[in-house]
Amino acid sequence: MSILVTPEELAGLGEVTILDVRWRLGGGPSDHKSYVEGHIPGAVFCALDADLAAAPGAGGRHPLPEAADFQAAMRRLGVDGSRPVVVYDEADSSAAARAWWTLRYFGHPDVRVLDGGIRAWRHAGLPVEEGEGDATGRGGDFTAVPGGMPTLDADQAADLAANGVLLDARAAERYRGEVEPIDPVAGHVPGAVSAPTAENVEPGGRFHNREFLRERFNTLGAVDGVPVGAYCGSGVTAAHEVLALELAGIHAALYVGSWSHWVTDSSRPVATG
């Protein structure tokens, strides 16, 4: 089963739950506004900050939600354990990947990502609907069981950077420490390798093919037999990196707290350049 689904394939699927995960850094009502203005028919809006993460704090800006909280959110959105789920965002899957990863982590067996997001759906000439949508009465039965995807804590991330491959999914200038628009400290985990997620997708937002992605990650050191992990600012775009690695046939762990967690402890080293 492919992780990705095309607009035409999604239009032909039968019983499926569709989650609209449009989100932008900083959040706010604009993402939901876009959903109201036009979404894939039958899709339900999934708020990344509220439904796919716990409150910001010592665990970082987007820590994992508790299993009970995530289960309640997914049931409210109509997610069943036995029905496929398709997730999408505007175009590049950077937010949809967090939904994919979190559902897989909590044990959902069939989660797919609409490649190219709603932009690709519209480009294919498929219909959209306006309004709030309606999940009333379609409460799901999903049961959240953590542990379905590998994770890293700070110590494990540091060890992986030294003895395996730890990919930094942020923009290169943030990795180098030249700018840091969000977190209080600039730089990267010592030994981590810069691998911006923007390079995982083609112009327009669709993922590069498997061969391209595999060559890219092999060049960065992610080869057979070497343990691989990924982090970003707060565990959102790093999920996109894990997804791209999975498409390339490379399994990787996610440091969910990522840089926003790493810098909560001043004793942890920081590299620049």
**CATH code of the domain made up of 4-123:** 3.40.250.10
Cα-only R_g, the chain: 18
pLDDT of amino acid 134 = 67
- Over range 143-158, report the average pLDDT: 98
Lowest-confidence segment of 8-17, 106-115, 215-224 by average pLDDT: 8-17
pLDDT for residue 229 is more than 60 = yes
| Percent above pLDDT 90 for the chain | 92
pLDDT of amino acid 133 = 76
In angstroms, the Cα distances linking 268 to 76, 130, 157, 178 are 39, 48, 11, 19
Residues of the chain with CATH 3.40.250.10: 4-123, 154-262
Contact criterion met (CB below 8 Å) for 182 and 233? yes
| Cα 232 from chain centroid (whole Å) | 11
- Over range 70-78, report the average pLDDT: 96
**CATH code of the domain made up of 154-262:** 3.40.250.10
pLDDT for residue 157 is more than 70 = yes
Nearest CA-CA partner of 91 in 113, 108, 116 = 116
Active site residue 232: yes
- Over range 251-262, report the average pLDDT: 98
In which band, very low, low, confident or very high, does the pLDDT at 139 lie, cut at 50, 70 and 90?
Answer: confident
- Over range 162-174, report the average pLDDT: 97
In which band, very low, low, confident or very high, does the pLDDT at 177 lie, cut at 50, 70 and 90?
Answer: very high
pLDDT of amino acid 138 = 72
Among the listed residues 46, 52, 103, 232, the single catalytic one is: 232
Q: pTM for the full model?
A: 0.96
